[in-house]
Amino acid sequence: MTEYKGYKPTIGLEIHAELHTETKMFCECKNDPFAGEPNMHICPVCTAQPGTLPMVNKKAVEQVLRVGAAVDGGLADFTEFDRKNYFYPDIPKAYQISQYKYPLVSGGVLSGVELTRIHLEEDTATSQHESDHSLVNFNRAGVPLMELVTEPVIHDAESAMNFGRELQLLLRTLGVSEANLEKGEMRVEANISVSKTDEFGTKVEVKNLNSFKIVGAAIEYEIKRQVEAIESGETIIQETRGWDEDGQKTFSQRTKESADDYRYFPDPDIPKFKLSEIQEFSKDVIKKTLPELPWQKRSRYIALGVSEEATETFLYNQTLDELFTGVLEEADKNIDISKAVNYITSDVAGLIKNEDGDVTRITPENMLVMLSMIARNELSSRGAKDMLSIMYKEGGDAEGIAAKHDLLQSSNTDELKPIVEKILAENPDVVEKLKAGDGKMMQFFIGQGMKATQGKANPQMLSQIIKELI
């Protein structure tokens, strides 16, 4: 736990995520908040025309329950939606439909952090402020939004960042949200306080944190700011602060409203739900439908001997993970998976950064043939790199590429001997040093041999021939 001047920081997170449903939360408009043109996906419901009625999106409810089951939270027996009243141009009803007293999910644990609740609400429209007027785009209005609240049990910035990343992985694994912070698909608000005693200090909420790096930086900054303020005799006021990226600091936006200000009350337009009567929404049933969760995959890979770093790469990169999964499925037990891991997480990872090829050409079969060629000393690691690059850009199977591009490593003594003889003849002084016992000179000759054969010589074979010839 990081302490600062004897103060203990406490952090609780509130995280929103846009759900990836076909349609919006309470109407049949397409859920496409980033649609090319403003106001393409709107209707009387999501623009709050009088006389319209909301209809709950069952998929959105199911997605939140799936998240709840994954974190082993309690799924509601009973739930209802509430109106959260406030006025702003991006919320045309002058209330947001949210959940207050009966959230879909209560409790649960993620990344070692206890959760308070997960509930469902609707996203707002977006405003665009011009010099003398503002424009409102309703494509995002009514998009299903999940809100997850943690208990105030986090005590440092890094754990907060890790929590956010793990939630992002979970949402992607469940296919419920893309959860990109940069795009606003996931929005992290950090509540931060510091205290020297067992009693919590006054919390400050920091918003508009558009990357995990910023989440970390804002928390670090805010902890220091609060401690210095208290140390110089000021009292912390409960407020909402934003993040100033240029100045790398938080700044005051407004004093925080309390729940009372919102006048929450149950939305009379939406029926109440007895979820316990819906068989498919029971925790046991949902649990059976869950895919392998990020932390389960993590322990499986670690148990296989995959390094922690490579494991995280696979967790975050679906393309690379699919290739690795394919290799694991098709490989027999004796394959050295560490080699497969290395080629995938370094070479293939490098290749897919450029869009000049097609990663599906690097099939698990191709990968396995390549690995067996390496194991038989037919292919050098240089040759393997070239092979992957050709496979990615042009396609072809491993053996075909090796033949066509002359990548096979030469272990043929008859071929290598004259080359080595020539190198030795050209470097008599180095030969003398080697004979005198300077082992480093061996590397020099092997290097020259590799160069002369454009990397195709088998280095062990070269070393053997050099030893024979001197």
β-sheet bridge partners, residue 117: 106, 149
Is the CB of 103 or the CB of 294 nearer to ligand ADP? 103
Does residue 230 belong to the site contacting Zn ion (CB under 5 A)? no
CA distance linking residue 207 with residue 188, whole number of Å: 7
Is the CB of 46 or the CB of 236 nearer to ligand ADP? 236
194 binds, among Zn ion, ligand ADP, none (CB under 5 to 8 A by kind): none
29 binds, among ligand ADP, Zn ion, none (CB under 5 to 8 A by kind): Zn ion
Residue window 144-183: x/- pattern of binding to ligand ADP, with contact defined by CB under 6 A: -----xxxx-------------------------------
Count of residues engaged in binding Zn ion, rule: CB under 5 A: 5
The SS3 assignment for 258 reads coil
- In this structure, the number of other CB atoms found within 10 A of the CB of residue 280 comes to 10
Task: Pick the binder of Zn ion from 11, 17, 25, 27 (CB under 5 A).
Answer: 27
In this structure, are residues 178 and 21 in contact, taking their beta carbons and an 8 Å threshold? no
Span from 4-12, 27-35, 51-59, 429-437 in contact with ligand ADP (CB under 6 A): 4-12
Residue window 90-129: x/- pattern of binding to ligand ADP, with contact defined by CB under 6 A: ----------------------------------------
CB under 8 A, 24+ apart: contacts of 151-154? 151/12, 151/113, 151/114, 151/115, 151/116, 152/10, 152/11, 152/12, 152/191, 152/193, 152/200, 152/203, 153/10, 153/12, 153/113, 153/114, 154/10, 154/11, 154/12, 154/13, 154/113
Span from 36-44, 190-198, 288-296, 366-374 in contact with ligand ADP (CB under 6 A): 190-198
CA distance linking residue 37 with residue 329, whole number of Å: 44
CA distance linking residue 46 with residue 151, whole number of Å: 32
Convert 83-133 into a string of H (helix), E (strand) and C (coil): EEECCCCCCCCCEEEECCCCCCEECCEECCEEEEEEEEEECCCEEEECCCC
Question: Taking CB positions, which residue lies at the least distance from ligand ADP?
Answer: 12
Residue window 230-259: x/- pattern of binding to ligand ADP, with contact defined by CB under 6 A: -----------------------------x
In this structure, are residues 31 and 40 in contact, taking their beta carbons and an 8 Å threshold? no
Interacting residues with ligand ADP between 201 and 230 (CB under 6 A): 203
CA distance linking residue 216 with residue 157, whole number of Å: 5
Burial of 295 (0-12, 13-18, 19+ CB in 10 A): middle
Task: Pick the binder of Zn ion from 35, 43, 278, 331 (CB under 5 A).
Answer: 43
Is the CB of 15 or the CB of 170 nearer to ligand ADP? 15
In this structure, are residues 38 and 139 in contact, taking their beta carbons and an 8 Å threshold? yes
CB of residue 69 vs ligand ADP: minimum separation in angstroms?
21
Q: What tokens were used for 210?
A: 């558009």
CA distance linking residue 83 with residue 20, whole number of Å: 23
CB of residue 133 vs ligand ADP: minimum separation in angstroms?
33
In this structure, are residues 403 and 414 in contact, taking their beta carbons and an 8 Å threshold? no
46 binds, among ligand ADP, Zn ion, none (CB under 5 to 8 A by kind): Zn ion
CA distance linking residue 260 with residue 239, whole number of Å: 16
Torsion of CA 171, 174, 177, 179, to 10 degrees: 30
259 binds, among Zn ion, ligand ADP, none (CB under 5 to 8 A by kind): ligand ADP
H or E segment and range at residue 199: none
Interacting residues with ligand ADP between 11 and 40 (CB under 6 A): 11-14
Task: Pick the binder of ligand ADP from 79, 159, 168, 193 (CB under 6 A).
Answer: 193
Is the CB of 119 or the CB of 297 nearer to ligand ADP? 119
293 binds, among Zn ion, ligand ADP, none (CB under 5 to 8 A by kind): none
Span from 9-17, 207-215, 320-328, 370-378 in contact with ligand ADP (CB under 6 A): 9-17
396 binds, among ligand ADP, Zn ion, none (CB under 5 to 8 A by kind): none
200 binds, among ligand ADP, Zn ion, none (CB under 5 to 8 A by kind): ligand ADP
Interacting residues with Zn ion between 270 and 329 (CB under 5 A): none
In this structure, are residues 219 and 231 in contact, taking their beta carbons and an 8 Å threshold? no
Residues that bind ligand ADP (CB under 6 A): 10-14, 149-152, 191-193, 200, 203, 259
